[in-house]
Structure 1
Amino acid sequence: MAAPVYPPKPSPGDRVAVVSPASGLPGLFPRPFDLGLARLREEFGLEPVEYPSTRTMNATPRQRADDLHAAFADPDVKAVFASIGGDDQITVLPFLDRELIRAHAKPFFGYSDNTNLLAYLYNTGIVGYHGGSVMVQLGRPVAMDARTVDSLRAALFTPGPYELRPVDRWSDVESDWADPRTFTRAPETRPGTGWSWLNADRVVEGRSWGGCLEILAWLLMADREIAADPSVYDGGVLFLETSEGLPSATEVFQVLRCMGERGLLRRFPALLMGRAKTWSFERPNGPQASAQYAADQRAAVESALKTYAPDTMAVFDVDLGHTNPQLVVPYGGLVRVDGPARRIVVTY
Structure 2
Amino acid sequence: MTVGLVTPASNAWEDEDIRFAGDVVRSLGFEVKEGKHLYRRTQYLAGPDEARAEDMNYMFADPDVDAVFCLRGGYGTPRILPMLDYQLIRNNPKVLLGYSDITALLNAIYHRSGMVTFHGPIAAQNFTDYTLAEYQKVLVHGERPVPLGTPPPFEAAPGRVENRNRITRFAGGRAQGRLIGGNLSLMVSLVGTPFEPDYRGKILFLEDVGEAPYRVDRMLTQLWLAGKLQQVAGIVFGKFTEADSDGNTFSMEHVLRERTADLGVPVVRGLMIGHVKDQTVVPVGALAELDGDAGTLLLRDAVVS
Tell me the TM-score normalised to structure 1 length: 0.77
Contact 2:118/2:284, CA 8 A, preserved across alignment? yes
Q: Are 2:231 and 1:278 equivalent residues in the alignment?
A: no
Instruction: Please report how far the alpha carbon of residue 218 of structure 1 lies from its aligned counterpart in structure 2 after TM superposition.
Output: 1.8
Amino acid at match of 2:258: S
Instruction: Please report how far the alpha carbon of residue 192 of structure 1 lies from its aligned counterpart in structure 2 after TM superposition.
Output: 3.7
Q: Distance in 2 between matches of 1:296 and 1:224?
A: 34
Contact 1:20/1:64, CA 8 A, preserved across alignment? yes
Q: 2:206 aligns with which of 224, 233, 240?
A: 240
Q: 1:324 aligns with which of 255, 277, 288?
A: 277
Q: Distance in 2 between matches of 1:110 and 1:60?
A: 20
Q: Say which is worse superposed, 332-341 or 265-274, in terms of deviation.
A: 332-341
Contact 2:272/2:278, CA 8 A, preserved across alignment? yes
Q: Are 2:165 and 1:199 equivalent residues in the alignment?
A: no
Partner of residue 76, structure 2: 88
- In the TM superposition, structure 1's runs of 4+ consecutive aligned residues that sit over 4 Å from their partners are 292-295
Residues 40 and 312 (structure 1 numbering): CA distance in 2 closer, same or farther, change over 3 Å?
same
> 1:109-124, aligned counterparts within 5 Å?
109-123=97-111, 124=113
Secondary structure at the aligned position of 2:270 is classed as: strand
Q: Are 2:139 and 1:156 equivalent residues in the alignment?
A: yes
Contact 2:177/2:233, CA 8 A, preserved across alignment? no
Instruction: Please report how far the alpha carbon of residue 191 of structure 1 lies from its aligned counterpart in structure 2 after TM superposition.
Output: 7.5
Partner of residue 195, structure 2: 225
Partner of residue 69, structure 1: 57
Secondary structure at the aligned position of 1:120 is classed as: helix
Q: 2:3 aligns with which of 7, 16, 33?
A: 16
Q: Say which is worse superposed, 190-199 or 52-61, in terms of deviation.
A: 190-199
Contact 2:176/2:233, CA 8 A, preserved across alignment? no
Partner of residue 301, structure 1: 256
Q: Are 2:232 and 1:268 equivalent residues in the alignment?
A: yes
Amino acid at match of 1:16: V
Which structure has the highest helix share of the two? 1
Partner of residue 47, structure 1: 31
Unaligned runs of 5+ in 2: 156-161
> 1:27-42, aligned counterparts within 5 Å?
28-42=13-27
Q: Deviations over 1:72-116 (max 9, x none)?
A: 011111110000002121111111111111111111001111111
Contact 1:167/1:194, CA 8 A, preserved across alignment? no
Partner of residue 180, structure 1: none
Partner of residue 159, structure 2: none
Amino acid at match of 1:204: A
Partner of residue 177, structure 1: none
Aligned-pair RMSD on alpha carbons?
2.3
Partner of residue 117, structure 2: 128
Secondary structure at the aligned position of 2:169 is classed as: strand
Q: Distance in 2 between matches of 1:115 and 1:39?
A: 21
Partner of residue 337, structure 1: 290
Secondary structure at the aligned position of 2:293 is classed as: coil
Q: Distance in 2 between matches of 1:295 and 1:128?
A: 34
Q: Percent identity?
A: 27
